[in-house]
Amino acid sequence: MCRNIKTLFNFDPPATHAEIHASALQFVRKLSGFNSPSQANAEAFNRAVSEVSDSARRLLAALQKELSDLESGGGDAGVRTRYIAGAA
């Protein structure tokens, strides 16, 4: 498992596009074995990062919708609060 990939679901505030992209980048790096790909592999590598990032955003949106459904039913959704450096 990629130790540097953080859980992005069920936090307040929600994950940003930059956080989702960073997780996608770590995932593709782990799968490919490249920290930064050669020029010959850069297009495929960058396309994979983009596709994983898009899939992750769709997943988080779907999960958040289910969370909203739970909250509207009066249940305790257990939203976790994420520490953001510099936030007061």
Q: Residue 14 phi/psi, 5° resolution?
A: -60, 160
Token digits for 29? Answer: 């790096």
CB-based contact 70:77 (threshold 8 Å)? yes
Q: What is the mean pLDDT of the chain?
A: 79
Could you read off the pLDDT of 1-32 as tens digits, one per residue? Answer: 456 667 788 777 888 999 999 999 999 999 99
User: Could you tell me which of 12, 10, 20, 17 has the C-alpha nearest to residue 67?
Assistant: 10
Over residues 60-87, the mean pLDDT reads: 60
In this structure, what DSSP letter does residue 26 have?
Answer: H
Say what the pTM is: 0.69
